Amino acid sequence: MCGIAGVISFTSSLRDRQRYLTRMQETLERRGPDQKGIFLSEHAALLHTRLAVIDPEHGAQPMHYSDGREIYTIVYNGELYNTGELRDALRAEGCTFETHADTEVLLKAYAVWGEACVQRCNGIFAFAVWEQKRQRLFLARDRMGVKPLFYMLTPERLLFGSEMKAILADPDVPHEVDIEGISQLLLFGPGRTPGCGVFRNMRELPAAHCAYYTEQDGLDVRCYWKLEAREHTENFAQTAEHVRFLLTDAIRRQLVSDVPIGTFLSGGLDSSLISSVAARKFAAEGRTLHTFSVDYTDNDKYFRKSKFQPNSDPAYIRQMQAYLQAQHHWTVIDTPALAAALYEAVDARDLPGMVDVDASLLLFCREIRSHVTVALSGECADELFGGYPWYRDPEIRAAYGFPWSQSTAYRMQFARPEIAELLTQRNDVDREYQATLQRTAYLPGESAAEHRMREMMRLNLDWFMQTLLDRKDRMSMYSALEVRVPFCDYRIAQYLYNVPWEFKEYKGYEKGLLREAMRDYLPEEILWRKKSPYPKTHNPNYLTAVTELLAERLKDPDAPILQFIRRDALEQLLYGDDNVQWYGQLMTRPQTIAYFLQMDYWMEKYQVKIAI
């Protein structure tokens, strides 16, 4: 994985902006500490910081290629999992190769197939190609949106980068938030509307989109892939076998690496399956898998069962450790470190985020990076196989609106009156919910239940999953750890989109299809374990710590957050009741307090101006 950024300007020369370009590149050094490179011409600058994973000795970027008609330059962040197949197809087209790097394969794929190359790629990626003679930039992002790509278009130029901070490093870019940005922070956060970058005029290239930028036509954004509704013709046994093939194939493809690789292990179904498939492959090659788990100081003392977290992880992790015969590593986080990391998590994400979940993941990834450079993680299984409570609870499933965020009225109470009036007029939450339903593909004549389950999958893929992918990319790459997500293979998503709900809920179990398909990969206790979310601290000291921090900030009458948030609402949050669900089960009262702490810190650090 890497960091990419760039500037295209057809109205002025970029050659005298070397200092600013270097500043943009420096913001991405944590993503790619191994190498740095800059391509600079009159109207185009492409910047790269490299984390070397495949062919570390070669593959430096920006990489150039000429086919005799055009000169191509690429900067690329990602991994291709079908590099071998693409290389063979390109050799049949007459291409030769000088490296083993997938960067060279992708560059020549674009030279041969143009924008159609992205439809041939199985991987996670965000990349840019500059065509020197045509004076044209091509941008693309992977189908599932695993790798980020932000941009800002002005009358004079186009800026882009793997992270917002790269674009914000340009001195001519204002750090402003208008009413749309406030709506994102207050009504959607820590999620974001697909394509929205929160900062004024900041956008993100949506998943499965590509774009051309030229002087004549400006920016032309195109969708190159979307989920299609198709008739499912396989019986349950055939479906389970198909799922088994797709998942094991995705995991094995993603274990290719020229640097040390391991797996996250929570003791839950998803990470345990990935670890089991990986461990068997490693054992066949005479290697030992490294697995990684996180826990919190005194969680054994303070853990309490709940509807959403019926049991804690450590006992299941130890069982998997024995089953896998892996080299296991624990990271144990205490409350002071978790609270302090709230601010560093904002530095990584460039926005307020999932607070303690972000902070703990950032600290966890830092420890993992001391052992391996690449790790596989279990994100996206619940979105595809229907594992979340809102898939299975009929009342929640039927409720209007985003199922994990039914708190719009509560959130609005925090807005200053003049801000609340503008937000009410916009009606953003309802509009975006309806727009997501309209993007959903259906089959004519299917049942109302199947119709709704397609909507639920679309809602989760476009919104909840993107929030989790944001979190995983930024918190891991902050320590130059590449995290791969095998369940996010687009082939699995397309197939599961058309599998009937009765198959997914086989025998009444959440993700019953997945459990049945992979039953010989896990001990029975792990295979049928009820879902438990990403582990969080249950220590009451965390609530005390964040309460004290926010109370201290509110002593400052000029605290940045008070420009649009009511002081009295924050004080009520600090000392009111505990019945708060800001973002599903992941953000209750302690996390909501921490979210406003992050918001205040973010406004101060980034010198954010309110522009309404």
Q: In what order do the strands lie in the sheet with 327-333?
A: 327-333, 290-296, 261-264, 374-376, 482-484
**DSSP strand pairing (63-66 vs 71-80):** antiparallel
Q: Is the confidence at residue 312, as pLDDT, over 90?
A: no
Q: Is the confidence at residue 105, as pLDDT, over 90?
A: yes
Q: Is the confidence at residue 411, as pLDDT, over 80?
A: yes
Q: How far is CA 475 from CA 157, 168, 371, 378, 430, in A?
A: 30, 19, 17, 15, 30
Among residues of the chain, what percentage have pLDDT more than 90?
88
Tallying the residues shown for the chain, one arrives at 612
pLDDT value at residue 16 = 86
Select from 541, 526, 534, 577 the least CA-distant residue to 301.
541
- Assign residue 94 a region: left if phi > 0, alpha if psi is -120 to 50, beta otherwise? left
- pLDDT category at 306 given cuts 50, 70, 90 is low
Query: Which pLDDT tens digit goes with each residue over 244-276?
Result: 999 999 999 999 999 999 999 999 999 999 999
Q: What's the mean per-residue pLDDT of the chain?
A: 94
DSSP per residue over 12-63, as a string?
A: S-SGGGHHHHHHHHHTTTTT--SEEEEEE-SSEEEEEEE---SSTTS--SSE
d(CA 474, CA 387): 24
d(CA 391, CA 381): 13
d(CA 43, CA 40): 8
pLDDT value at residue 539 = 80
95 is annotated as an active-site residue: no
Query: Which pLDDT tens digit goes with each residue over 485-526?
Result: 999 999 999 999 999 999 999 999 999 999 999 999 999 999
Select from 323, 322, 271, 270 the least CA-distant residue to 293.
271
pLDDT value at residue 307 = 59
Residue 400, judged by CB atoms within 10 A of its CB (0-12, 13-18, 19+), counts as exposed
Query: Which pLDDT tens digit goes with each residue over 572-612?
Result: 999 887 778 898 777 889 999 999 999 999 999 999 999 98
3-state SS class at 78 = strand
- pLDDT category at 310 given cuts 50, 70, 90 is low
pLDDT value at residue 211 = 98
Average pLDDT over every residue of 1-15: 93
- pLDDT category at 114 given cuts 50, 70, 90 is very high
Query: Which pLDDT tens digit goes with each residue over 186-244?
Result: 999 999 999 999 999 999 999 999 999 999 999 999 999 999 999 999 999 999 999 99
Domains and CATH numbers, the chain: 2-223 (3.60.20.10), 236-395+469-527 (3.40.50.620), 540-610 (no CATH)
DSSP one-letter code for 125:
E
Select from 354, 401, 400 the least CA-distant residue to 379.
354
d(CA 248, CA 281): 10
- Assign residue 412 a region: left if phi > 0, alpha if psi is -120 to 50, beta otherwise? alpha
The answer to whether 143 touches 125, Cβ cutoff 8 Å, is: no
pLDDT value at residue 584 = 77
d(CA 14, CA 165): 20
pLDDT value at residue 515 = 97
Question: Which residue's structure tokens are 């119709």?
Answer: 451
- Within 8 A by CB and 6+ apart from 76, the residues are 2, 4, 61, 63, 103, 106, 107, 125, 126, 127, 128
Which residue in 2, 95, 196, 488 is the catalytic one? 2
Q: For the chain, how long is the longest CA-to-CA vector? A: 70
Exposure class string for 70-92: b at 16+ Cβ within 10 A, else e: ebbbbbbbbbbbbbeebbebbee
Query: Which pLDDT tens digit goes with each residue over 34-64?
Result: 999 999 999 999 999 998 887 777 789 999 9
Phi and psi at 505, nearest 5°, equal -100, 40
Phi and psi at 170, nearest 5°, equal -70, 130
Q: Is the confidence at residue 122, as pLDDT, over 70?
A: yes
3-state SS class at 157 = strand
Phi and psi at 284, nearest 5°, equal -65, -25
d(CA 127, CA 515): 36
Query: Which pLDDT tens digit goes with each residue over 140-194?
Result: 999 999 999 999 999 999 999 999 999 999 999 999 999 999 999 999 999 999 9
The model's pTM is 0.96
Phi and psi at 543, nearest 5°, equal -60, -45
d(CA 475, CA 355): 11
